[in-house]
Amino acid sequence: MTQPERGVTPLPQAKRRRRSPLPSILGGGALLGLAAFLAFGSLGQSLEYFKTPSEYQLEQSTLAGKPLRLGGLAQAAEYDPQTLNLSFQLTDGSVTYPVQYTGAVSDMFQEGQGVVVRGRFSESAQGADPGVFQADELIVKHSEEYKVPETQAEIDQLKDLLESAE
């Protein structure tokens, strides 16, 4: 190392300038806000709610001709397994609409069962009567109870069902 010359005083150690944490906090907050916007901003668009028949009746003028989901209880169901045509009445206890659906129907579908149908009312409807609801999709509410097989026969039946599904 070199010795400082005599008579020359060494310079004092330079002081580090302390940085303000404000830019880091603002940047982190902006990133967090952007992530929240991306995560939850489109969430409202992807959620799908259903209307009850009474709610549809009140909002019929704004919902007419638009695809929507109706939910309620199925009544007076008629199903033809050959043509896969299902017709039933959808009610919430005060308002009832006829529904037509073509497609496979779950074994859980029965009268008095809660269902949600997606589709639209037929174009031929005029005036206050919206006509028949033409369903493209049928969602059946199922029981939330899980029943454990109690006998060996029930276990064997469940195994056979699972093997046939594969």
Is 97 among the annotated ligand-binding positions? Answer: no
Q: Is residue 127 classed as helix, strand or coil in its secondary structure?
A: coil
Is 142 among the annotated ligand-binding positions? Answer: yes
| Beta bridge pairs of residue 120 | 134
Q: Report the candidate in 53, 66, 24 with the shortest Cα–Cα distance to residue 116.
A: 53
| Beta bridge pairs of residue 85 | 80, 102
98 φ, ψ (degrees, to nearest 5): -75, 145
Q: Is residue 131 classed as helix, strand or coil in its secondary structure?
A: coil
Residue 155 is given by DSSP the state: H
Integer CA distances (angstroms), 86 to 57, 58, 77, 90, 102, in order: 23, 27, 7, 12, 6
Binding residues for heme: 142, 146
Known binding positions? 142, 146
